[in-house]
Amino acid sequence: FMGKAFLDLRTLEVEKTHFIRLPLEDGAGTISLLLTITGTVGPNSTTDLDYNKESTTVSSRYIDSMIRRYGLLNSFKNLDDVGWLQVKVLRAEGLASADMNGKSDPLCTLQLVNQYVQTHTAYKTLSPEWGKLFEL
């Protein structure tokens, strides 16, 4: 275990992609991610991400379609349909060494209530690049 960071999703604006850099506990480094809270339903998935800082906004056409789909008139059609969270895990920096060789084998785990997803393990590095997109 190399560290963890917490993020209160209630503080974030919905339908907007946020670039977030969080410090890990005890100064163990930082983790960077793109996070979007939106009112759609998507399957649990992991996707490789071709990260481009300029393409971090949700299109207005997409937002309009979601407003129609989840507007007041449609809000009780499917009570289990509460939305999904999309998190893009980009990289971590300045991680503490955990191996004898001065490196580590880090991975990133995300938890939303009882659901966990994780990136692949990046071997022998203190600055892993994951570039993964998770939908919860």
Tokens of 126: 């203190």
Among candidate residues 96, 85, 92, the one with its CA nearest the CA of residue 107: 92
3-state secondary structure of 69: helix
Quote the CA–CA distance of 35 and 51 in Å, as a whole number: 13
Q: Is the pLDDT of residue 19 over 50?
A: yes
pLDDT of residue 129: 92
Contact 34, 90 (CB under 8 A): yes
pTM of the model: 0.52
Q: What share of the chain is helix, strand, coil (3-state, %, to 5)?
A: 15, 35, 55
Distance CA 71, CA 81 (A): 13
pLDDT, tens only, 31-80: 888 888 776 545 445 555 544 444 444 566 766 776 676 666 776 676 66
